[in-house]
Amino acid sequence: MKLGDISVGYLLALREAIQRSGLDPTPLLARFRIDDALLAQPHARISIARFMRLGNAAIRYTRNPAIGLTMGSCSQLSHLGLAGMTAQCAPTLEEAFATLVEFELLGSQNYRGHSSFEPPALRFYSISPYNMFNLFVVDSALAARAHAGRVLTGGQARLREVHIEFPAPPYAARYDEVFGCPVHFEQQHNQLVWEPRSLSLPLTQSAAGTYAHLRELCSQQLRELTRHRGLRERVESLVAPRLDGQPPALPAVAEHLGMTAWTLRRRLHHEAHTTFQQILDEMRRDLAISYIRDTELALGEVAYLLGFSSPEALQRAFKRWTGSPPGSYRKELLEANRIEKEIQS
């Protein structure tokens, strides 16, 4: 169980955003083993952790902390693959957004949750606590959706307001330029609130027959994708978004999967050779290692995300898992990365 992954199509917008800064993106992308061959693969993905590290490196490379907003403005629906092309052919903006949410799994998967659409609000899931590694993720996601709404309707769609969970960053003035409406920080959700009339606008590239055909293809791909997801992965996807609180108990997960608790327990034993509690423990272990290795989150933030009672409790568990305290583990990795870069240069 990792943080999740996204289609490499998302990197096309980041590449253009770096180019708009007057810089060559090739050296930066090469540091993260991303080249034209990878970007050309239709089903290639990169991990969320790698994406966050790349975004942070891009901020430093361009010296632009608002690069996520620029990235969103560079995005195209074609970057989202089949789901994006399908949304482009929808009859109305409302149906386009509903399509993007319905088939989001074809282009990205994050253990923290999924986007949702409750008209007139198009919502991007929470990835708190926020830090220098993930602000740009929310910036790019909301800016991309706002840009898509305008492009799809020939510039006619209007936002009423934008809500963002984290406090206003130093570059807060850039949000007004990008969204063109009131932007409120420290809100309950990350979401775009559209003028209701905008959602009924017809799309400039609407094509009923093509839309129906592409929806069918999306449904086929989604069924194929979920068919290969084992029982363990399905359990993980239900438990992971609630790790920072009280994870759902086995009976609740079983009910959601359409089976009894006894059946789920038996199938986990026979199909995955594990138990519900082992899955929960291993998820916490894998995610803790990923957070310490791939982000700069403080120990207290990681403890909160994984539902530990205190940073000390996480520290004890982490040492049991890896043999090292989290601070030492992170320091050793940073030193190893530094040495590797010196060797490569």
Res. 39: pLDDT tops 80: yes
Q: 180 versus 308: which is more confidently predicted?
A: 180
* 174 close to 66: Cβ distance less than 8 angstroms: yes
Q: Residue range 321-331: average pLDDT?
A: 90
* Rounded-to-integer distance, Cα 103 and Cα 101, Å: 6
Written as one letter, the residue type at 6 is: I
Are β-strands 4-7 and 116-118 bridged in parallel, bridged antiparallel, or unpaired? unpaired
8 Å CB contact between 138 and 68: yes
Q: What are phi and psi of 344, to 5 degrees?
A: -70, -30
Residue 344 has pLDDT above 70, yes or no: no
Amino acid at 34: I
> What is the pLDDT averaged over residues 146-173?
97
Q: For tokens 């975004």, what's the residue? A: 55
- Cα–Cα distance for residue pair 9/159, rounded to 1 Å: 26
What mean pLDDT do residues 10-29 have? 96
Query: Is the bond preceding residue 129 a cis peptide, omega within 30 degrees?
Result: yes
More confident residue, 123 or 282: 123
> What pLDDT band is residue 1 in, cutting at 50, 70 and 90?
very low
Tell me which residue of 113, 135, 111 sits closest to 124, measured CA to CA.
113
Q: Which range, of 28-32, 121-125, 261-265, 288-292, averages the lowest pLDDT?
A: 288-292
CA-CA distance, 161 to 40, in Å (whole number)?
A: 36
DSSP state of 4: E
Q: What is the pLDDT of residues 237-294, one digit of tens each?
A: 888 777 767 788 999 999 999 999 999 999 999 988 899 999 888 888 888 888 888 7
What is the model's pLDDT at position 340?
59
Distance between CA atoms of residues 226 and 41, nearest Å:
21
Average pLDDT value over all residues in the chain: 90
**How many of the other CB atoms lie within 10 Å of CB of 211?**
22
Residue type, 310: S
Distance of CA 57 to CAs 6, 65, 134, 141, Å?
18, 10, 12, 18
Give per-residue pLDDT as tens, 93-105.
Answer: 999 999 999 999 9
Sketch out the chain's domains with CATH numbers: 68-223 (no CATH), 231-344 (1.10.10.60)
Tell me, what amino acid is at 282?
E
